[in-house]
A and B are shown apart, each in its own frame.
Chain A
């Protein structure tokens, strides 16, 4: 039997940025980040060659650590499919085949061009296992990506010289990363995660280990900046600077710009409170935009709930060169998907 790997590279494969962490498992509950890298793409890498080149550059920034190491990839893509379905208790490998052969019947969507996988959503409350109330039904998470995207990423990883470990969807990586970072909250409370991406944001709601809702909202950092530059008539740099200084006018503009996102978050909270008698006490924000204090302040005020950033790597020891320390602290909020993918791979093995 092959020895389970003790280290893995977690890669967050976004459309406009690539992030990676090299995570090592020293003991059952002791994880160490020994390297990390972040790379912003000027335009989405639409071919395997371009993506392979970018991945190669990313791994090079990590000091060539990808050689002969497995990669756990978290993919964030607008084409990704995430559904929660209810099915009679079915082994996941059979359900996977059923989804492949009868995607239209189970997902109301033609999934022939998708690579699908599924997993049972653990339920803490047996009486609430099925929302439809059909006895014996279980909730399953179904995730998928167009087959060409999967093949492209596989080819790109091969070109970059990294081995394929697992490929997970970005939002699910973030969900798993939250369990990794805040296990107690994950196991005992309702939690609300917001991951603000470049062009879209993902909302994940869970209660006591159970995933209740996953939503993608077409509003991201790019949309926020465009809205702010539009409202203020200033350039990007000036907008950033004003946000850093918590300029009152800019705060108001931010409030206006975040209006849509706030509305969607409120409706999601309402969905949770309507379905489950649970109260969301706090919002956990991650993503590049979450580094802005103004954004967190506005969200807290608008939602009347405390909003704070969270980082999965805070659970890990950081054995990084001194030169990388500052950059790592600044990017920690952004490494949740990569860290979640890596931690899932290490725990799965």
Chain B
């Protein structure tokens, strides 16, 4: 078997260039998606003390659920706790920019919304936040996707996405799943 040592080296180097090309294309695509399409992970270094969550202004029980804030931002706030979401159903308009905010008073949880790219971990100590835009109407599943104890499998919420024109918040800017339509 006589292959010239230089020939081997040359072929390896040629392949190394192909590898460099592959990696560059992948990184280029990710960079493009991040910078021009704003596809970034949901980082949010915003603290929320698990011990006093229920006393905080934002995550107190009466402030949970969907609300249109003064500046017109549509924000849904939920507490993820062993083994339920409070509230267990939120209503949001389709084709609108919405923000989901979560906090945990106990252990690690996480959510995804099936059929969408909404996904975040909920780490006690932080407010987890996702900005999104739902394009389809209907009842979507929002399960806890991180092991949080023996009741983890039962921890499930519903995201009710309704047509934009049917989204009618009340005088305080609130909308809930039970609202008659």
| A and B bind | no
Chain B residues proximal to chain A, CB less than 8 Å = none
